[in-house]
Amino acid sequence: KVLDASTLSFGTRVRWFAICFVAGIVCSILGTGLLWLPNGIKLFALFYTLGNIAALASTCFLMGPLKQLKAMFDPKRLVATIVMLLFLVLTLCAVFWWGKKGLAVLFCILQFLAMTW
């Protein structure tokens, strides 16, 4: 039952949802602000990606992780989920291994679009 949302009280689930969601927004905004610093692209990509992961994790507190994963990998959402996860990884690869700033920014935009999809 650890992976079931019902093991936490409703108030606790809502609290942790809010904490993760706000943390995700703060990380994304902070990352965007860091983009304008010299060599801030690495911090931008890292914080933006962490922000998206935190926002995604926030709904786990409402639904539960297993239900969330089932919903994400439902045939209707499978392509969007794979694309989103792919761009999360590609963003980090572009900035930390390939050193391609333009690609990192493009992948961040595509992360956003995939999360919205």
Residue 49 lies in a domain: no
Residue 19 lies in a domain: yes
Whether the predicted pLDDT of 108 surpasses 90:
no
The whole-model pTM stands at 0.78
Residue 53 lies in a domain: no
Residue 56 lies in a domain: no
| pLDDT, tens digit (0-9, with 9 covering 90-100), for 50-70 | 998 998 889 888 888 888 889
The count of structural domains within the chain is 2
Domain holding 16, by residue range, is 1-37
SS (HEC) of the chain: CCCCHHHCCHHHHHHHHHHHHHHHHHHHHHHHHHCCCCCCHHHHHHHHHHHHHHHHHHHHHHHCHHHHHHHHCCCCCHHHHHHHHHHHHHHHHHHHCCCCHHHHHHHHHHHHHHHHC
| pLDDT, tens digit (0-9, with 9 covering 90-100), for 63-101 | 888 888 898 899 998 998 999 999 999 999 998 899 888
Whether the predicted pLDDT of 1 surpasses 70:
no
Residue 61 lies in a domain: no
